[in-house]
Structure 1
Amino acid sequence: MLNASEPAQTNWKNVNNWHWVEKNCIPWAKEYVPSVLKGLTKEVDNVLLATGEVSGFSGDADINQRKGKLITVYDIAFNVAWEAKFDTDKTVSGRINIPEFMHDTDADELVAEVTTEVTSAEAQTMRSLVIKHLVPLIKEKLANFSKDMIAANGKDVHITKDEMKGHPAGTQYKPKPPAADDAEVAKKANVPSSVVGALSTITMNVEFVCSASDLYNTLLEPGRAQIWSRGPAQIKPEVGAEVSLFGGNVSGKILELVPNKKIVQTWRLKSWPSNHYSKVTINLEEQRESVTLRLTQTEVPVGEKDLTQKNWTGYYFNGIKGAFGFGAVGF
């Protein structure tokens, strides 16, 4: 995997911004958030509301580039101090807690928890004014977070056309949109039975236009998984790690890992018989300009085989190809 700190002479290896490049933007975010949120003011009914220091900053923020597309991935939390001045010499203060500011949540849907340092009728009145007038200002300022992250950091992960001059050029691949628009895995409406019945095996061979390391990391790193799965992703490249995708409709555990070559895990759909897990083995075979993913899934309930195979194509493989341009989607 390429890193944003690599020197410019390696540009020929990233023709048309083909490979995945990423940059940790937390240092930038820690400066940006206070710069746009500190000092906001609003006067309402002779009450002066104002924001103060930003504290308790935590989380992750990355900018990724693949096939010329810049993608921001972030999940951060922080507190904003607030103060209300009224009746000439009276002051009430407190905090606005932002527990989760994520890339897949619109700013106007941001959850803000407003607290006061004292408990009184006046404090509650000021708290209500903060919720009504200061919180919308904060949401408005954060609406440009992704755009501003790209503007400030995009040049570090994206090679411009001028920088590409003199290097070999490749044909720009334009993938079709993913076949599945919904990030929820298809499932049965009935409560899962405890009866397993006959079992079957699925084998699939799928080509991706990327390196083995790109595909390995895309399958296992939570930041990338939440992009192609279009939702929260519990997964990490560690043996023993629990897996939960598509709103908990897919779950399992990582059993074995060989970096850039092999992934073995247990795997089940929520609609399967209770406590029944299949075993998935993924082997990655790097070719000259692509990588072949060879999947073997054993102990799949016979009645679930077709649906399971369809879901691998629709939600995993097409999701990855559509999100990162790793080849044409299949059906």
Structure 2
Amino acid sequence: MAKYGEGDKRWIVEERADGTNVHNWHWAETDCLEWSRNLFSNLLSGLTILDGEGNLFIKTKKVDKVEGEAYVNIRKGKIIPGYEISVSISWEGEARDSDGKSLLKVEGSVEIPYISDENADEDPELRVTVKEDGPVGRRLKEAMLNRGKPVILEKVRIYVQSMAKGGPAKEDLETKKVAPKSQTAATAKTEAAGPAVEKKESKKESKQGFKTISLTERFSCRARDMYEILMDDNRWKGFTQSYAKISKEVGGEFSIFDGSVTGINVELQEGKLIVQRWRFGSWPDGIHSTVKLVLDEPEPGVTVIKLTHTDVPEEDRYGNATVVENTERGWRDLIFHKIRAVFGFGL
């Protein structure tokens, strides 16, 4: 038995130079409130909600407040998030007449009073207010609620998923990991084998962590009309309700979904083919994917689109492992279904 005042080293978790939490035995807690403020600010500031539909223009301005508590505990390698926070967002809107003349400009706020880990599988409540309570002001408020709610809730889900993955604590864990002896030995063998072996291993690793999305969609429209929707600024805005700037030239750049997706045109055949390099702002630096859209018109007025989206990373820069799922859902819900709501199904 150890003497009084002397710890038995078998039961002491010492600070180690390599930063390793031995066996992850004790709790490691990370305060995530400031990190949460920064993430919400990035996710919710400057979002275009309406850009001319019904002569209404609405966008979020900035995140005014993120209050409450947010932390991540790690116990034996298990991530246990905890948060109870409220978020306040300012927004602005404008209504114009058919000639483009401003009828009214308003400001308001969106309150999300309770975002909690206990209700992580449920969408939180949103409260929209506007300073101008006249008929036009109420119209802008309703538009903000109806069109802005799904956009804002999607951003909140990104936060919830990020916390479930460990938030900033995940990055700390990764930097503290120490390669096991077997890995170190394998690395030494690779180095001894020379460049040819290293090149083979590198090629193998480059295939990991990426997925391919394949979809086939059918529409009641001409192929040339579908091509124009996907390659024209104003039509993209009208169908997706998001800001877009799209070049129609090979090598030209584009920015869609309010700048959250950017890229360049690789190959274009009007009414037949669109090949682009896509990058989401939430992806790790240097990661680009390839989008290929083949448009076929088997009969007049019926267009079939075959989408192949390759090199989609499995995780974003925040450690969320839902990138592929969210990207596929984005194609279906935010692009194809919005277009289908106008043109309908090809039968």
Same structural fold, with TM-score higher than 0.5 when normalized by the shorter chain: no
The TM-score with structure 2 as length reference comes to 0.42
The TM-score with structure 1 as length reference comes to 0.44
